[in-house]
Amino acid sequence: MLDPRDKLILNSLISLIGLVGFIGNFLILRSLIVYKNMRIAHHVVIGGLALASILYILFEIPQTIVNFTSTRWNITDIWCNITNYMAHCSLIVVAFHLVVLSILNALILTNRPNMIISGKHALIIVVILFVVIFTAGVPFAFAYHVNKDLERCTFKPDLNDEFLLLIIITVCYFLPFGLVLITHIILHYITQRFFVDSIPEDKRKLSQLVLGLVIAYFFCQLPYHVVNIHLLYMLKDPNIQAEQFIMWNRISSYLLCLAQLSFSISPIVCAKLSKDFGDSFDEIINCTACVSSGNQRQGTLNASTPLTCSTLIGSENNV
C-alpha cells in the first residue's frame, strides 16, 4: 500500500535511526563497563535501558524493513515468532526501565538522608525486569505466523488480534506512561512544597536526565500508538474507504519512524544532560583520550595529562 518513493524514504530513515541508536546505546554500555565510578543506581538502570534498546533495534528494525519492501523475503513462522517476541518484550522492558528510573529519582529526591540505593541494588532490579518480562512474554513466541497474502508476520487466525494488539499497546505504552506521569506529578508536588530550595545540584541534574529520557521516549511513541488504535477501529467499519485507509496507513508508517527515533534520541539526551556520559562519548567520538592513551593503559595520570572521561568522573555523585 506504500508507493516506491515512500518505501525508499522509510527504509532509509529506519536504517539510519537503527544505526545511530545501536551505536549510541552501545556507547552507554561501554561507559558503564569501562568506568566503575559511573555505576551509580541511575546509570545502571540507564544501562539496562540501553541494553533493551539494542535488543529492540536488532530484532525490530530488520522486520520493519521487510514490511516496508515488496521483495519476497521467504520469511518463516520461526522468524515471525522470534522477532516479534524479542521486539515486544524489549519494548516493554524499555518502558518499565523508565518507570523504575522515575520511582528511583523520586525516592532519592524526597528521602535523601535515609535513601541508600547502590549500583548493585539497581542491577538486581534490572535483571528482575528482564527475567519477569521476557518470561511473561513467552506466549508471544508462539502467536505469529507468515500471512501468505500480505507476505508479512501477523497473529495466527485463531487468535483475537484486536485484543492482543490492545494488550501490547497498553503494556508497552499506556500503563508505563500512566505510572511515570503519576510518579512525576507526586514528585513535583512534594518537591515544590517541601524541598524546592534544598535539592543539591547533582540531584537536580540527575532529575533532569531522567525527565529528558522520559520525554524522549513517551512523546516520540505517542502519535504512533494513537494512530494505530485509530486504524484498528477503522478496520471494523464496513463502509471504510480504501483511500482513507491507505492514507492513515501511510501516516502510521512515518510515525513508526518517529517512534523508533526515541531509541536514537536517548543516548543523545544522556550525552547532553550527563557530564559523565558526555565525556565518555567524547573519548570515542572525538578521541579525547588519544593523547593520554599511554597513561590510561598504565592506570596513572600526571599533571601534564589532558583531562579525559576517566579523570572527570570523580565520584558516584558527579553527573
- pLDDT tens across 220-271, in order? 999 999 999 988 888 777 777 888 888 888 999 999 999 999 999 999 999 9
Superfamily name and number for 4-312: Rhodopsin 7-helix transmembrane proteins (1.20.1070.10)
User: Smallest Cα–Cα separation from 308: which of 299, 296, 297?
Assistant: 296
Residue 318's pLDDT is what?
Answer: 42
Percent of the chain at pLDDT > 90 equals 45
Residue 236's pLDDT is what?
Answer: 79
Amino acid identity at 24: G
Please identify every stretch of the chain with a pLDDT value under 50, giving residue numbers as ranges.
Answer: 297-319
Residue 94's pLDDT is what?
Answer: 96
Q: Where are the domains of the chain?
A: 4-312
Record the cell numbers describing residue 63, joined without a space. Answer: 522486520
